[in-house]
Amino acid sequence: MDNFIIWCNNNEGFANMLLSIIGAVLSIIAIIVSIKTARLPYKKALKLTSYYDICFFKDSNDVVSSQLKGISVNAINIGKRNINLTFLGLAIKDSSHGRKPKKLVKISEEMTGKGIIAPTEIKSESYLTKDVLFNLNKFSEDAKVFIYASDSEGKEYFSAMGKVKKVKQSLSKQMI
């Protein structure tokens, strides 16, 4: 250890270089932390969820039955600023139809999942079973179904639901 101290005293340039490198690394870390901290108030994040809508019926004999009505898709703004959604719904990625996802549009109703969503707000879009099945029949069984949203700044959000075959089977089952 004594030899190392004597060597450092004799080679002042080495000690200065070592201290300069340490100072430069600490400065770079400080710059990165300050940039990340400055961007926090402008963070944009969206959480996508979906669920099956089920209707329950009671007939004149007091027998309760149920039927699958469709799929609902939710977008929850978990960021710190408003997001202007241009599309919220389902999309399919099929290798035979190109790389871009194909958006599923509703046939029976108007698409309502557009507009500005503030932090902690939820936007929803509902699809009837017949609309989803009609659209899914156009794709191969191995195509992937996604919950999909896009905003006015061009950012796309995806959350996987499963393959077309699985979604079609889920929607085709009748509830009892």
Per-residue pLDDT tens for 108-118? 777 777 889 99
Name the more confident of 24 and 5: 24
What's residue 1's pLDDT? 79
Name the DSSP letter for residue 27: H
Convert the pLDDT of each residue in 111-151 to its tens digit: 777 889 999 999 999 888 888 888 888 888 888 899 999 99
Confidence class of residue 166 from pLDDT cuts 50, 70 and 90?
A: confident
Per-residue pLDDT tens over the stretch 59-73:
888 888 878 888 899
Adjacent-strand bridge partners of 18 = none
Judged against a pLDDT cut of 90, whether residue 32 lies above it is answered with yes
Q: How many Å separate Cα 130 from the centre of its chain?
A: 25
Q: Which residues contact 172 (CB under 8 A, 6 or more apart)?
A: 133
Calculated CA dihedral for residues 107, 139, 137, 163, nearest 10 degrees: -100
Q: How far is residue 107's CA from residue 153's CA, in Å, rounded to a whole number? A: 27
Q: How confident is the model over 88-101, as a mean pLDDT?
A: 80
Is 106 or 165 the better-scoring residue by pLDDT?
165
Q: What is the pLDDT of residue 176?
A: 44
Q: Which residues contact 86 (CB under 8 A, 6 or more apart)?
A: 114, 150, 151, 152
- DSSP reduced 3-state for 3: helix
Residue 32 parent element (H or E): helix 12-39
Rg, the chain, Cα only: 28
Instruction: Quickly count helices (H) and strands (E) in the chain.
Output: 4, 8
Could you tell me which residue, 98 or 168, shows the higher pLDDT? 168
Kindly state the percentage of the chain with pLDDT values over 90. Answer: 27
175 has pLDDT over 50: no
Look at 37 and 174; give whichever has higher pLDDT: 37
CA gap 14, 57 in Å, rounded = 83
Q: What is the mean pLDDT of residues 77-86?
A: 91
Residue 46 pLDDT? 93
Confidence of residue 98 (pLDDT cuts 50, 70, 90): low
Query: Are the CB atoms for 167 and 145 separated by under 8 Å?
Result: yes
Quick one: DSSP state of residue 100?
S
Cβ neighbour number for residue 60 with a 10 Å cutoff: 5
Of 85, 55, 92, 89, nearest to 150 by C-alpha is 85
